[in-house]
Structure 1
Amino acid sequence: MRELSVTEQRYRAVLAVISDGETVSSVAARYGVHRKTVHGWLARYECEGLEGLADRSHRPRSCPHQIDADVEAAIATMRSAHPGWGPRRLVFELARAGVDPVPSESAVYRALVRLNLIDPSGRRRRDRKWKRWERGVPMELWQMDVVGGFVLADGRRAKALTGVDDHSRFCVSAHLMLRESSPNVCDGLAAALRTYGVPGQILTDNGKVFTGRYNRPPVEVLFDRICRENGIEHLHTQPRSPTTTGKIERFHRALRTEFRTDRIFGDLATAQAELDAWVHDYNHNRPHQALDMATPAARFLTGHDAAITPLRPPADTGAAHRPDASRSDGTWVTRRASAVGVVCVSWQQVCLGVAAAGRPIDVWVTESVLQFYDGDQLLRTQKRDSTGEVRVKRSSAPQRRPRVTASVTDQPT
């Protein structure tokens, strides 16, 4: 005996009322449902026929506390332009842009997950064995180090002497040099001392340009001599202990991701000019989460006692992930961008830029937003203005293709 489907059972209940003349109460009692449910089946059958008796989505028509589509699109735009921005920074930028009401950090995080801009499985648990420390006033301690990765057009590679104030995270040195030699490093140190004055202490690792205590026999290098002659106490980390200089290492991460060291500079002077401009923005305009979203300059120039706060895990900088074709909250369609990079979906035109001109673009269509992908690369997230049916001109589950070539010149291997 064949088992009846849900739609067939509902259809028989409707026929029992319409054709056989049974009461709604008796039919509801026989099928074990409420009278309102039977009335609903009758209304759906009258409006839509047999198709109206099929199961429908249980998703609510609206969610009063969900982020507005305009704000969600703004969050996606900010995250795509600044992959290092987490929920806290995004909330700060939305408030600065005048968004009202400002969503919570947890709401922004859920929006990033919903838009496939973060991988929730990639979150790392907080490591509680490290102890947070911070000097109480500016100019008490500088952390300094040397970082590489600056590629010049002639094939040479430059390095930078970097330094931050421990209390304020103010960058006091970002001096580029072609060779990591003791005179070049000390030129950067001397420039920082002339500009900002003499700190009480300087903390470095045990590199040969910083100390000669591991030489046989131990010697005083030029860096040590400058510190001694200026009354600066030179502190060293333990071997293989990079977490001791965690603030300068975190500055290096911001340097790589925000200043973009993965590009080619014309010459050393051009690279230094661009680096100086970025450092000025870092010091005076960029809010710092460890300073309760204040700028380093606000704390360095008007020093106050440090407030000890718990250590936060690093921000997730993972790239966007394509939605799975099996998801039920959206549909994949494919469009080819025009000669000027415009894509049309359901009579809504979106410009992706000339870099996407003529390329096949995969579009993830939901009820509120459109997400445009070139291969695995998310190009743009746009609020959906149209409500009509979206035609699937090509494949409903597009294949991955190579992404649009980035405008930044890649490093030579």
Structure 2
Amino acid sequence: MAKTSGVVEVSKLHRTTEVFVSHRNARLTVFGRRLLVARVRSGRPVAHAAEEMGISRPTAHKWLSRWRAEGDAGLHDRPSRPHTAPHRTPPGLEASVCRLRSERKLGPARIGPVLGLPASTVYRILLRHGLNRLARLDRPTGLPVRRYERDRPGELVHVDIKKLGNIPDGGGWRVLDRASGDRNRQATTDQRKSCKPVIGYSYIHSAVDDHSRLAYSEVLPDERQHTAIAFWQRAHAFFTAHGITVERVLTDNGSCYKAKQFTQALAAAGITHKRIRPYRPQTNGKVERFNRTLLDEWAYLRPYASNDERTTALADFLHTYNHHRCHTALAGKPPISRVNNATGQYT
């Protein structure tokens, strides 16, 4: 029972806060209702005051009755939700729905037959508890993901590295057939391992500002500490050129980031270095999500004939991402729209 109640309590924390406002055709606001009460208290007949305010007598009597019973608080809007819902699903059954969703990741069509509920009812329960989308749940624990966003640019910058296989000159087997791809590999490199050509890897170092999502990336030959330090210095110059003062840098626990020289390089610029908890890449989620965008919209966007061609295309992708690409987390605006000196940056 403790586990079930825990699921319900966690889901309650993630419900949407209700805000009640007057409907768009309402004649009276809270100020108008106060004016109605004042006119009646001054001696005006209710019928006359109602006509002057452009409302019916029953409506005027309703607000007067609420004011007499509750005072000024009675003149505010109320939710239209009924006080009681006798046919609502019992709390224990709702807790079972939440438990099956969180622990087994089942959908409404599978939870319904297990508990004897219509799939539509299960979906409304999941929606009520904020569990209707699996993307909002942490896969290992099944708890709703806590999303955060820093208040200003530069308060936190996420840094990470993505490893990509190099492309042989002329294209690999994904562009050509396997035999032609192997010939291009052998013609591109003289390095061998077990008699097979070794093309190697490229390492995409990326830095993403938490608040604005402004991104900077470079394709580099390795992920050693000196390479990571040099990359950050160029990334820092990029953010500075956009009017962003970097305060903190968040990285994973890779060897290049655990090196003292990397932390010292940040400290020399007055920047605090933070590392995520081991095995919790979700903490560095904004740059992890940016890495996925890199793969979808740059690295694997089209077949490239060489590694240099793919590397050259990165600059165009970054410009589009920062200045023109609609970002769902920014209400459909590009990252540059949140930068302090955005004026003149749209080119």
**TM-score interval w.r.t. the shorter chain?**
0.3 to 0.5
